[in-house]
A and B are shown apart, each in its own frame.
Chain A
Amino acid sequence: MTIRIFVPRDAGAVAVGADEVALALEKAAEKSRTAIEIVRTGSRGLYWLEPMIEIATAQGRVAYGPMTSTDAASVLKAMVADGPHALRLGVTEEIPWLKRQTRLTFARCGVVDPRSVANYRAHGGYKGLERALTLAPEAILADVTASGLRGRGGAGFPTGIKWKTVAQATADQKYVVCNADEGDSGTFADRMIMEGDPFVVIEGMTIAGIAVGATKGFIYIRSEYPHAVEAMNTAISVARRARYLGPHVGGSAQSFDLEVRVGAGAYVCGEETSLLESLEGRRGIVRAKPPLPAYKGLFGKPTVINNVLSFAAIPFILAGGAKAYADFGIGRSRGTMPIQLAGNIKHGGLFETAFGITLGELVDDIGGGTLSGRPVRAVQVGGPLGAYFPRELFDTPFDYEAFAARDGLIGHGGIVVFDDRVDMAKQARFAMEFCAIESCGKCTPCRIGSTRGVETIDRIRAGERVAENIAVVEDLCNTMKFGSLCALGGFTPYPVMSALKHFRKDFGPTPRRLQAAE
């Protein structure tokens, strides 16, 4: 009997040797005359165990990891004999880290073959679209609104309201745009879902198209994600052949098609209006709002623009899950959030759970603290524009409003852990430096402010008139926060101000800093 072995093709797994493991398994199978079939899947998101491979058994899939190519032969033997092995992790679904999660958006990621629409359907895929095709657009919008879904890119704007605005606009052409310019450090959920379950993104976008009356969609993927670009392009071709894209979506009278466009290394293009400019073939310069993209978006037409995770949440909601989705979460943050644990962390990866879990649970309990084994000193939540939180704020629940109340943001759900060796003045400087490198240049507070910020923090670190220069940085942050056109200049103050507020002793030539410099 042929043994089915699942090996991830996710870039995170490939970066730590998944391709070599697949090759070694094939060789070992040939040598031991074992009939195997290797299915390349996405990642389950337990990255400290990657490359993690799985075998289909009567009890469900059984996982082994972290694999190296030298383990292939012995693991294969253990698989055939159903015997013990040091790398055997047991039934995958029973691994506590996975079992504790609520996987609605990521239910199929790491499970299915991302190139097979049949496999996607066999795991519940396209149920949302099938139902949407039987509904009036108003009913689709009602479901999205009822789910409480808010934009997962970071801004948290209610998705239902955005879609309704586009649906009500009249135009000869409307567009659906997927923002896959996931540039925040510490985030990789968009990449994972595009590589591991691309059809869920396609299905979500298709439903959006039907709901608002758009026939064309674009997925703007950053160039740093070549694996995701390849996965999405492949899935789009497959979906087209299966008539899930094209002139008669799912056999209906609806028409919808998709195209992937690749970015070119500009972080600011993750900002929606800058992304639209880039899609139109121009410099990624931020547009002033209003008009909102919902009225005048891509090529001046009404446009739904959402993050990958927002679209990926839609199929579950439309498959009759609107209420079930809304039942998860707290306050105005409904549903689940795919949280990404990264940086200096023992158990890094993707943890999808209902809103409301505390930062401390995520970092200490689920993440297991630092990989270095040293104490956690700071965590940055929400990417380069997110605040640094000290341990004292670890009781903050993961919720849009709770983070905002503590001068932070959940952004795209990335958490980067730093140990006690971190120099927070250096991190504050980096925030300004990154803003200076990536600023589109349109507005002065961002363009000039970031450069002045770097210079001023350099003076502070050199011990030059520390108190006065800190006041300058604070004033600068205030100007950037309220005077910038978009979140790049507007939110760069978050990491800077939080570092100043919670880690003041790192600013100025303190013993800590001098030690670090030695």
Chain B
Amino acid sequence: MPVYEPWDAERGAEIIADLAHIKGGTLVILHALQGAFGYVPEPAVPMIASALNLSRAEVHGVFTFYHDFRREPAGRHVLKLCRAEACQAAGGDALAARAESKLGIAIGNTTADMRVTLEPIYCLGLCATAPSAMLDGRVVGRLDEARLDALVAEAQR
């Protein structure tokens, strides 16, 4: 389970200052902030803008364009199920439905107890060992009902 720091403006400013010299580094900074805090807290957006001499709207635009960046913290565990064609061909749709019913949430949501966030991912590049998933950065292939159930149970712990 990834451990994140609580948002702290001073720490955020430090991260931004360390990376502000990188040419075209907006994504680099957003990744770094999310790596530290688990999401990109709202107050960080104007801070990035002023450090990079961009408008707040520009940074907001970048932040919201990319699927990866979160506005809010995710659940304690993030389970990403590959929903692309190769995994569909290997029975991924049924497994996705099974995960949704086991967790009681639709893909794209977090359980009420904030334990598990279930997300779609469009291709992990594990297409010859499909269906595949990623739990907190750990890749899992050749999913079947039993392996999926084990993953869901692990995520719920």
**A positions within 8 Å CB-CB of B:** 11-12, 14-16, 47-48, 50, 182-188, 190-191, 223-227, 261-267, 278-285, 299, 340-345, 348-350, 371, 380, 384, 414, 416-419, 422, 427, 430, 434, 437-438, 440
| Structural contact, B132 and A281, CB atoms closer than 8 A | no
Q: How far is the CB of B59 from chain A (nearest CB, A)?
A: 9
Q: Which of A11, A349, A371 has the most CB of B within 10 A?
A: A11
| Structural contact, B128 and A224, CB atoms closer than 8 A | no
Q: Which of A223, A371, A416 has the most CB of B within 10 A?
A: A416
By a CB distance below 8 angstroms, the chain B residues around A263 are 27, 66, 68
Instruction: Please tell me if B140 contacts chain A, counting CB pairs below 8 Å.
Output: yes
| Structural contact, B89 and A343, CB atoms closer than 8 A | yes
Q: CB within 8 A of A341: which of B91, B128, B132? A: B128
By a CB distance below 8 angstroms, the chain A residues around B139 are 11, 14-15, 227
The 5 closest A-B pairs by CB, nearest first: A348-B128, A185-B84, A343-B89, A15-B141, A342-B127
Bound Cα distance A50, B130 (Å): 13
| Structural contact, B128 and A281, CB atoms closer than 8 A | no
Binary flags per residue of B52-92, CB closer than 8 Å to A gives 1, else 0:
10000010011001111100000000000010111111110
| Structural contact, A12 and B129, CB atoms closer than 8 A | yes
Instruction: Please tell me if B124 contacts chain A, counting CB pairs below 8 Å.
Output: yes
Q: How far is the CB of B156 from chain A (nearest CB, A)?
A: 21
Q: How far is the CB of B77 from chain A (nearest CB, A)?
A: 16
Instruction: Please tell me if B98 contacts chain A, counting CB pairs below 8 Å.
Output: no
Known contacts: A224-B121, A281-B25, A343-B89. The answer to whether A265 contacts B67 by CB under 8 A is yes
5 A/B residue pairs, CB under 8 Å, sorted by A: A263-B27, A265-B121, A343-B85, A343-B90, A427-B85
Instruction: Please tell me if B122 contacts chain A, counting CB pairs below 8 Å.
Output: yes
| Structural contact, A183 and B123, CB atoms closer than 8 A | yes
Bound Cα distance A437, B119 (Å): 14
| Structural contact, A187 and B85, CB atoms closer than 8 A | no
| Structural contact, B84 and A384, CB atoms closer than 8 A | yes
Q: How far is the CB of A19 from chain B (nearest CB, A)?
A: 9
Q: CB within 8 A of A266: which of B52, B67, B124, B127? A: B67
**B positions within 8 Å CB-CB of A:** 23-28, 30-31, 52, 58, 61-62, 65-69, 82, 84-91, 121-130, 132, 137, 139-142
| Structural contact, A266 and B126, CB atoms closer than 8 A | no
By a CB distance below 8 angstroms, the chain B residues around A187 are 123, 125, 127
By a CB distance below 8 angstroms, the chain B residues around A380 are 85
By a CB distance below 8 angstroms, the chain B residues around A285 are 65
Bound Cα distance A225, B127 (Å): 13
| Structural contact, B128 and A48, CB atoms closer than 8 A | yes
Bound Cα distance A345, B90 (Å): 8
| Structural contact, B31 and A264, CB atoms closer than 8 A | yes
Instruction: Beyond A11-B125, A343-B85, list 17 extra A-B contacts (CB 8 Å).
Output: A12-B128, A15-B132, A47-B128, A47-B129, A185-B86, A186-B84, A191-B125, A224-B125, A261-B27, A266-B67, A281-B24, A282-B24, A283-B61, A341-B128, A342-B89, A416-B85, A437-B122
Q: How far is the CB of B125 from chain A (nearest CB, A)?
A: 4
| Structural contact, B68 and A264, CB atoms closer than 8 A | yes
Known contacts: A262-B31, A265-B67, A283-B62. The answer to whether A225 contacts B88 by CB under 8 A is no
Bound Cα distance A15, B124 (Å): 10
B85 closest partner in A (C-beta): A185
By a CB distance below 8 angstroms, the chain A residues around B28 are 261-262, 281
Bound Cα distance A50, B127 (Å): 13
| Structural contact, B125 and A267, CB atoms closer than 8 A | no
Q: Which of A185, A262, A350 has the most CB of B within 10 A?
A: A185
By a CB distance below 8 angstroms, the chain B residues around A186 are 84-86, 127
Known contacts: A12-B129, A265-B68, A266-B66. The answer to whether A344 contacts B140 by CB under 8 A is no
By a CB distance below 8 angstroms, the chain A residues around B123 are 183-185, 187, 224
Q: Which of B69, B122, B142 has the most CB of A within 10 A?
A: B122
B119 closest partner in A (C-beta): A265
By a CB distance below 8 angstroms, the chain B residues around A16 are 129, 141-142
Bound Cα distance A418, B87 (Å): 10
| Structural contact, A371 and B90, CB atoms closer than 8 A | yes
By a CB distance below 8 angstroms, the chain B residues around A190 are 125
Known contacts: A186-B85, A280-B24. The answer to whether A434 contacts B66 by CB under 8 A is no
A341 closest partner in B (C-beta): B128
Bound Cα distance A191, B25 (Å): 24
Q: CB within 8 A of B68: which of A15, A223, A340, A414? A: A223
Q: CB within 8 A of A344: which of B65, B89, B125, B132? A: B89
| Structural contact, B65 and A266, CB atoms closer than 8 A | yes
